[in-house]
């Protein structure tokens, strides 16, 4: 099978010099798995992805994993080899940035490379380090296999090289996930032609069975993209809606993982899930309480109709609303066009020490957490924070000290302005603001100080 020229890209294993080569002992395997291994080995040999090896110091076992369609996927247990290799720190793209960039287009094409990793050759001196054991013989990979520690970084490096003039303009790429985006069909044909030209130039192949051409919307990096905006993946929503109440810590961890993937669409998630999150911190006997069940029911209701999020317009400022409770901080980023359109919901539970902060400090913490977590938005937009809290005056005081001073300095790198909260038009925003409105919020009452005139000390408030 044709592949990328080794002069363009090959995968190298930077094994630590002090690492000791480990040859795993062969593990037993059932008859069905043995037959599946033999079938896969024949395919790999025919494609010239592997070759037989006789003497090797590194040796790994094969692991067979059944796919949802009932077929088998052959993986290799490179645990020992991966431990001996330092991490490749090549930067992967920010997923939120890619999703924002791909949404809001009239027509999309989703591309899938044919055995993408296997189109990159292994460096010749590292081939035998990938050796694995089977019943018939030992083999090593001549191409980059799945399971190697830094394979994703190598693949992203190749994609950035191949599509350096298309990424961000008419396509987005995250490792082996590719989407071509255009405003209309005529432009899309031109964009696809440009992409195919690059694929031919580097001898890369696509899998036509997994490619989807010229559609109005589809799944990308776990999100649903369309001209309307960014939508929660309905499969992920239904996975939680159809869940029964967790009966063990492991099931709570599974729920938490699923919620993380949908957190962008869930206002005040941290506040809602407080009873559930506490279970993850407890060491005593597991107990699914009434509060946990109520929180679980609320989550299911929210996931029944999650909001559609908008792609940010770089010509418009981003507006931030903050909501603070005793135990959580939450924020929503919106933009105002003909209506108030949500871009991102974010929240987190306060640590024990943070729960003792003054309300003003909690508001500042909510803003700094939002700026850190969603830095890409704060860097590329003017940001307007709408709050009735006098946080702007406090952050500008020259006599600030401690964490407030540190936060003020950190925020100074962004173009952040403050406005009173004012009227709210969108129902989702009304619900968000009311969700965590603390008692005794900021009130503009006038305080009068009565003195007998005997003091000569001037006091300011």
Percent of the chain having pLDDT more than 70?
90
The per-residue pLDDT for 1 is 56
Q: How far apart are the first and last CA of the chain?
A: 77
Q: Alpha carbon of 222 to those of 234, 262, 344: distances in Å?
A: 10, 9, 15
DSSP annotation string for 128-150: GGG-EE-SS-EEEESBPPTT-TT
The per-residue pLDDT for 446 is 42
**Confidence check: pLDDT of 152 > 80:** yes
- Say how far apart CA 245 and CA 47 lie, in whole Å: 47
pLDDT in tens, 178-225: 999 999 999 999 999 999 999 999 999 999 999 999 999 999 998 999
pLDDT in tens, 420-445: 887 766 656 666 665 545 444 444 44
* pTM for this model (two decimals): 0.79
> Going from the N-terminus, what domains does the chain have, and what CATH number goes with each?
31-220 (3.10.10.10), 234-304 (3.30.70.270), 318-435 (3.30.420.10)
CB 435, CB 402: distance < 8 Å:
no
**Confidence check: pLDDT of 461 > 50:** no
**Confidence check: pLDDT of 66 > 90:** no
- Say how far apart CA 318 and CA 310 lie, in whole Å: 12
Backbone angles phi, psi at 423, to 5 degrees: -70, 145
CA-derived radius of gyration, the chain: 27
Sign of CA dihedral 43, 46, 48, 53: positive
- Say how far apart CA 190 and CA 200 lie, in whole Å: 16
Q: How many CA atoms lie within 13 A of 240 on its CB side?
A: 29
The per-residue pLDDT for 457 is 37
pLDDT in tens, 13-56: 999 989 999 999 999 988 999 999 999 999 999 999 999 999 88
How does DSSP classify residue 16? -
The per-residue pLDDT for 439 is 44
DSSP annotation string for 427-443: HHHHHHHHHT--TT---
- Say how far apart CA 80 and CA 13 lie, in whole Å: 13
pLDDT in tens, 75-113: 999 999 999 999 999 999 999 999 999 998 999 999 999
CB 112, CB 176: distance < 8 Å:
yes
Q: Alpha carbon of 80 to those of 131, 138, 155: distances in Å?
A: 12, 17, 22
Mean pLDDT of the residues in the chain: 88
The per-residue pLDDT for 444 is 45
Percent of the chain having pLDDT more than 90?
65
User: Percentages helix, strand, coil for the chain, rounded to the nearest 5?
Assistant: 35, 20, 40
Largest pairwise CA distance in the chain: 101
pLDDT in tens, 371-392: 999 999 999 899 999 988 888 8
Give every strand in the sheet of 328-336, ordered side by side: 340-349, 328-336, 318-324, 383-386, 416-419
* Tokens coding 445: 């009452």
Residue 165: partners with Cβ closer than 8 Å, 6 or more residues away: none
The per-residue pLDDT for 433 is 62
**Number of neighbours of residue 375 by Cβ within 10 angstroms:** 13
The per-residue pLDDT for 449 is 43
Q: Alpha carbon of 301 to those of 260, 298, 330, 437: distances in Å?
A: 17, 5, 19, 21
The arithmetic mean of pLDDT across residues 273-289, rounded, is 85
**Confidence check: pLDDT of 347 > 80:** yes
The per-residue pLDDT for 399 is 66
Q: How many CA atoms lie within 13 A of 370 on its CB side?
A: 33
CB 20, CB 73: distance < 8 Å:
no
pLDDT in tens, 131-141: 999 998 999 99
**Number of neighbours of residue 41 by Cβ within 10 angstroms:** 20
The arithmetic mean of pLDDT across residues 281-298, rounded, is 87
Q: Which residues pair with 182 in a beta bridge?
A: 107
Which among 404, 415, 441 has a CA at the least distance from the CA of 322? 441
The per-residue pLDDT for 460 is 34
- Say how far apart CA 149 and CA 454 lie, in whole Å: 76
- Per-residue confidence band for 340, with pLDDT thresholds at 50, 70 and 90: confident
The per-residue pLDDT for 289 is 92
**Confidence check: pLDDT of 151 > 60:** yes
- Say how far apart CA 38 and CA 369 lie, in whole Å: 53
């Amino acid at each position: 099978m044709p592949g990328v020229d080794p002069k363009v890209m090959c995968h190298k294993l930077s094994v630590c010099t002090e690492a000791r080569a480990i040859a795993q002992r062969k593990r037993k395997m059932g008859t069905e798995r043995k037959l599946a291994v033999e079938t896969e080995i024949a395919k790999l040999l025919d494609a010239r992805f592997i070759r037989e090896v006789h003497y090797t110091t590194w040796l790994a076992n094969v692991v067979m994993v059944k796919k949802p369609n009932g077929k088998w996927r052959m993986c290799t247990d490179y645990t020992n080899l991966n431990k001996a290799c330092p991490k490749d720190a090549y930067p992967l793209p920010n997923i939120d940035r890619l999703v924002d960039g791909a949404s809001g287009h009239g027509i999309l094409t989703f591309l899938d490379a044919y055995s993408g990793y296997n189109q990159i050759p292994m460096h010749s001196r590292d081939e035998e380090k990938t050796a694995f054991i089977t019943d018939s013989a030992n083999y090593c990979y001549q191409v980059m296999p799945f399971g190697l520690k830094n394979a994703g970084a190598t693949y992203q490096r190749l994609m950035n090289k191949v599509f350096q003039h298309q990424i961000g303009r008419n396509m987005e790429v995250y490792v082996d996930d590719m989407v071509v985006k255009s405003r209309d069909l005529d432009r899309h044909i031109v964009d696809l032609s440009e992409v195919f030209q690059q694929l031919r130039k580097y001898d890369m192949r696509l899998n036509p069975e997994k490619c989807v051409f010229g559609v109005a919307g589809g799944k990308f990096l776990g999100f649903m993209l369309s001209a309307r905006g960014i939508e929660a993946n309905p499969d992920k929503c239904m996975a939680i809606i159809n869940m029964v109440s967790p009966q063990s810590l492991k099931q709570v961890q599974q729920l938490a993982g699923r919620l993380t993937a949908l957190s962008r669409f869930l206002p005040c998630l941290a506040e809602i899930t407080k009873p559930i999150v506490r279970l993850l911190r407890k060491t005593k006997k597991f107990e699914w309480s009434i509060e946990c069940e109520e929180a679980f029911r609320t989550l299911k209701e929210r996931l029944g109709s999650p909001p559609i999020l908008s792609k940010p317009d770089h010509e418009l400022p981003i507006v931030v609303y903050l909501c603070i409770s005793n135990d959580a901080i939450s924020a929503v980023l919106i933009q105002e066009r003909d209506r108030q359109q949500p871009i991102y919901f974010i929240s987190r539970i306060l640590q024990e020490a943070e729960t003792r902060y003054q309300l003003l400090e909690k508001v500042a913490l909510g803003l700094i957490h939002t700026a850190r977590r969603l830095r890409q938005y704060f860097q590329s937009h003017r940001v307007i924070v709408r709050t009735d809290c006098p946080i702007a005056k406090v952050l500008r005081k020259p006599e600030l000290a401690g964490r407030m001073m540190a936060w003020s300095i950190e925020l100074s790198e962004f173009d952040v302005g403050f406005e009173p909260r004012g009227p709210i038009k969108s129902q989702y925003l009304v619900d968000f603001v009311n969700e965590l409105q603390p008692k005794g919020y900021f009130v503009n009452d006038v305080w009068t100080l009565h003195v007998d005139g005997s003091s000569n000390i001037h006091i300011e408030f």
